[in-house]
């Protein structure tokens, strides 16, 4: 199944502002960690560090067996997880 995981954090709290935060992101998205979590990252987009709005956002399309697996993968990072499907599949049902 496909899921969209959306993460939001205050610009002033961006992980990319500290070496600890950068390390956390490198570890989280490492091939080894993704594989061990049993998920597949189909696409990922982040508004930081260029975004100057109050909040930064990250959007991640992930293939997984369940929304629980997606949430578990992100660990302490808060994410909103929703099932999604390709627009081409939705359009076939119209």
Q: What is the CATH number of the domain that holds 47?
A: 3.30.70.1060
Number of structural domains the chain divides into: 1
Residues in the chain: 94
* pTM (two decimals): 0.87
Residue 48's domain spans which residues? 2-92
Give tens-digit pLDDT for 5-50.
999 999 999 999 999 999 999 999 999 999 999 999 999 999 988 7
| Residues 61, 4: Cα–Cα separation, whole Å | 5
81's enclosing H/E stretch is: strand 79-84
Starting at the edge strand found earlier in the chain, the sheet holding 2-10 runs 40-46, 55-63, 2-10, 79-84
| Residues 38, 47: Cα–Cα separation, whole Å | 26
Query: What average pLDDT score do residues 82-86 get?
Result: 96
What proportion of the chain, given as a percentage, has pLDDT over 90? 88
Per-residue pLDDT band at 94 (split at 50, 70, 90): very high
What proportion of the chain, given as a percentage, has pLDDT over 70? 100
Residue 53 and residue 46 in contact, taking contact as beta carbons nearer than 8 Å: no
Give tens-digit pLDDT for 44-63.
999 988 788 899 999 999 99
């Amino acid at each position: 199944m496909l899921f969209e995981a959306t993460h939001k954090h205050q610009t002033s709290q961006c992980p990319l502002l500290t070496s600890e935060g950068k390390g956390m992101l490198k570890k989280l998205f490492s091939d080894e960690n993704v594989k061990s979590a049993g998920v597949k990252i189909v696409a990922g987009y982040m508004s930081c560090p260029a975004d100057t709005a109050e909040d930064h956002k990250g959007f991640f399309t992930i293939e997984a067996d369940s929304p629980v697996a997606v949430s578990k993968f992100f660990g302490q990072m808060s994410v909103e997880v929703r099932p999604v499907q390709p627009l081409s599949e939705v359009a076939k049902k119209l």
